[in-house]
Amino acid sequence: MKKTHAFLIIDAQFDFCDPEGSLYVPGAEQDVEKISRFILNHASKIDHICLTMDAHPVNDISHPSFWQDVQGNPPAPFTQISLQDIEQGTWRPRYFVSEVREYLQKLEAQKEFPHTIWPEHCLMGHHGSSIAQPLMNAVTRWSRSTGRYYQVVSKGTYPLTEHFGIFIAQIPYPDRPETQLNQPLIDTLMQFEYVYLCGEAKSHCVANSLKQAMIYAPELAKKMVVLEDCMSDVPNLAHLGEPIYDKAKDMGVVFAKIEEISL
């Protein structure tokens, strides 16, 4: 049987997609509704679904508890911390000081995403990390009705690097396989003619997943269809993802609204 249509749904989790989630992305619940409805309405035509999941320890480099100021206070969510802040004593990592310095140096050399402190989110084992219920309901119904299996891929479990894109950590570590290129995932998705990319957040994890595909698996990027009305930006941070989407369009990556998709 020809493998034609796969969905790559990025981080459609409670903490991002529910208004009560710790890092709620406005509009994400509508994105989930559209994706879920499409899956239910076209179940027999969908050959594969990959759900990605952000998964963090509490003391993650991007969480407040990892950091403190001179009074011992943690930074507020959405604070940006630079290597210069550490050198000046504005902020200090509570753990792995030398490793953090090296990490920020490498991250800042990329000149893309500043190191940002997020609210604690998608904690491993916490209900906030669970797939949004409407989507999970749709995917399990799809699996039962078609006999096909959905795939779940986690990222972000190593606490000393951000892991926005699904394919590789922002700064991979040679001795940490979970931060390195996920070639098996690339190989799986390459089996399909079309890979529909959607999820949360448009400004960060979706954009970086697309960018990583363009860099590490350009043939996979050519198969992608970006469902531009099934993803939403972290408020005030849309500008971080825009250059990635512009480059993808220049490379010929297809962008479409979900109602325009004909399976």
What CA–CA distance (Å, rounded) separates 51 from 65?
28
Tell me what percent of the residues of the chain surpass a pLDDT of 70: 99
Give per-residue pLDDT as tens, 205-239: 999 999 999 999 999 999 999 999 999 999 999 99
Give per-residue pLDDT as tens, 5-61: 999 999 999 999 999 999 999 999 999 999 999 999 999 999 999 999 999 999 999
Which pTM was predicted?
0.96
Longest dimension (CA), the chain: 63
- Is the separation of the CB atoms in 199 and 9 below 8 Å? yes
Mean pLDDT, rounded, of the chain:
97
Domains of the chain with CATH codes: 5-57+122-260 (3.40.50.850), 64-110 (no CATH)
Q: What is the pLDDT of residue 2?
A: 67
**pLDDT at 202 > cutoff 60:** yes
Higher pLDDT, 130 or 111: 130
**pLDDT at 112 > cutoff 90:** no
Sorted by sequence, the CB contacts under 8 Å of residue 94 that are 6+ apart come out as 59, 65, 66, 67, 68
**pLDDT at 1 > cutoff 60:** no
* Mean pLDDT of the 187-215 span: 98
What CA–CA distance (Å, rounded) separates 200 from 233?
8
Phi-psi map region of 89: left, alpha, beta (phi>0 left; psi -120 to 50 alpha): left
User: Helix, strand, or coil here: 133?
Assistant: helix
Residue type, 190: M
